[in-house]
């Protein structure tokens, strides 16, 4: 009751990019394909992309791990999951995500009371976002081939000793296969995810007084729902080679975003991916996503998309995947002439 009362008196807002760390994506296969997974997720990462895909697991025990570094290594994005079928009609998965920036210098005590600099007074802290997803999937008895799933997610966000937040939300998804076609739908934050922030005012008071800013107050963020529609088609080229082409279309309802189609009510962001396979063992992947319009230094507008590339190897339940993201080379409005790539490495192992 006390926690409910504190949340009720806090300032409530619906920021456009609330809990956006949960939309970066996990797994080198998915990121190499431009985050296209709603219809085709079929391994332990399905708990994140679409929990209905957990019913496609080929082995009893399934593990997936990922590490990626963003912004030239400043931010670290780590992910781990475990999934298993419960019987021939249901499956369970648990996923953990951490996105953080570590070793940030706290220089509040750098200058002592006599005005001297004391470097040994510098302390370091981390800013990190955590999420745990517990996913369940079950085959429908009403429509043949229809798979349903849901994920309950717990969120913890921490800014050193200065602030932290707790949140909770629910995602739901479905997949349907018809011949060589696969269809998927993923509804994120269908309950409107609630994240409550608290601040350590005592730790911030002196710094805020010196800069003339108001002390932060307890607040709550509401993450509005997001709908993802996906479709994919498989092609058998010959005895050894096959291909998969898929697309996802994201619908957001939190205001006008910098995407392909946008309005004050809904914004639509399509992305597409392709996967070429040799003997279902060696994979080459590519994808396009993150369409944006950016302003150049000369004042003109430029339309851009983010290309992605990946390779993978699979044998006897072992998966090794590598992806390169943001490989668009030169940016007309960038300070440096070279583009910055994010390297994503994934490892998966499944066994009976």
Calculate what percentage of the chain has a pLDDT beyond 90. Answer: 62
Pick from 83, 21, 25: nearest CA to 52: 83
Q: Residue 330: pLDDT above 50?
A: no
The mean pLDDT value of the chain amounts to 88
| Residues ≥6 apart with Cβ < 8 Å to 126 | 100, 101, 102, 103, 104, 158, 160
Mean pLDDT of the 332-337 span: 38
Fold of 61-351: Porin (2.40.160)
Calculate what percentage of the chain has a pLDDT beyond 70. Answer: 89
Mean pLDDT of the 208-221 span: 73
pLDDT bin (cut points 50, 70, 90) of residue 337 is very low
Would you list the domain boundaries of the chain? Answer: 61-351
Q: How far apart are CA 165 and CA 43, in angstroms?
A: 30
Q: How far apart are CA 321 and CA 311, in angstroms?
A: 6
What integer pLDDT is reported at residue 7 of this predicted model?
42
**Residue where the block lists tokens 């583009």:** 339
CB 41 within 8 A of CB 51: no
What integer pLDDT is reported at residue 195 of this predicted model?
92
Q: How far apart are CA 44 and CA 11, in angstroms?
A: 38
83-104 pLDDT, tens digit per residue, is: 999 999 999 999 999 999 998 8
């Amino acid at each position: 009751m006390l926690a409910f009362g504190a949340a009720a008196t806090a300032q409530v807002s619906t920021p456009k990019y609330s809990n956006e760390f949960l939309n970066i994506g996990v797994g080198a296969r998915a990121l190499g394909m431009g985050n296209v997974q709603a219809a085709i997720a079929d391994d332990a990462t399905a708990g994140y992309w679409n929990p209905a895909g957990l019913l496609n697991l080929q082995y009893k025990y399934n593990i997936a791990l990922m590490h990626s570094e963003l912004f030239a290594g400043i931010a670290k994005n780590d992910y781990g999951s475990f999934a298993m079928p419960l019987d021939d009609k249901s499956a369970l998965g648990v996923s953990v995500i951490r996105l953080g920036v570590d070793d940030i210098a706290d220089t509040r005590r750098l200058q002592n009371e006599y005005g001297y600099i004391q470097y040994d007074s510098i302390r370091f802290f981390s800013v990190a976002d955590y999420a745990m997803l517990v996913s369940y999937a079950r085959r429908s008895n009403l429509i043949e081939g229809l798979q349903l799933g849901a994920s309950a997610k717990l969120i913890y966000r921490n800014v050193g000793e200065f602030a932290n937040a707790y949140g909770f939300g629910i995602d739901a998804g479905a997949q349907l296969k018809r011949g060589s076609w696969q269809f998927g739908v993923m509804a994120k934050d269908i309950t409107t995810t609630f994240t409550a922030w608290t601040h350590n005012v005592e730790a911030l008071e002196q710094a805020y007084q010196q800069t003339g800013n108001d002390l932060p107050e307890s607040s709550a963020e509401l993450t509005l729902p997001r709908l993802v529609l996906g479709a994919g088609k498989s092609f058998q080229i010959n005895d050894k080679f096959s291909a998969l082409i898929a697309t996802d279309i994201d619908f957001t309802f939190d205001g006008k975003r910098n995407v392909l189609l946008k309005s004050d009510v809904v914004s639509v962001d399509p992305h597409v991916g392709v996967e070429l396979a040799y003997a279902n063992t060696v994979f080459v992947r590519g994808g396009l996503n993150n369409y944006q319009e950016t302003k150049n230094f000369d004042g003109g507008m430029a339309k851009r998309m983010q290309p992605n590339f990946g390779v993978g190897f699979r044998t006897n339940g072992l998966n090794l995947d590598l992806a390169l993201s943001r490989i668009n080379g030169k940016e007309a409005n960038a300070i440096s002439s070279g583009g910055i790539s994010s390297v994503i490495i994934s490892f998966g192992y499944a066994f009976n």
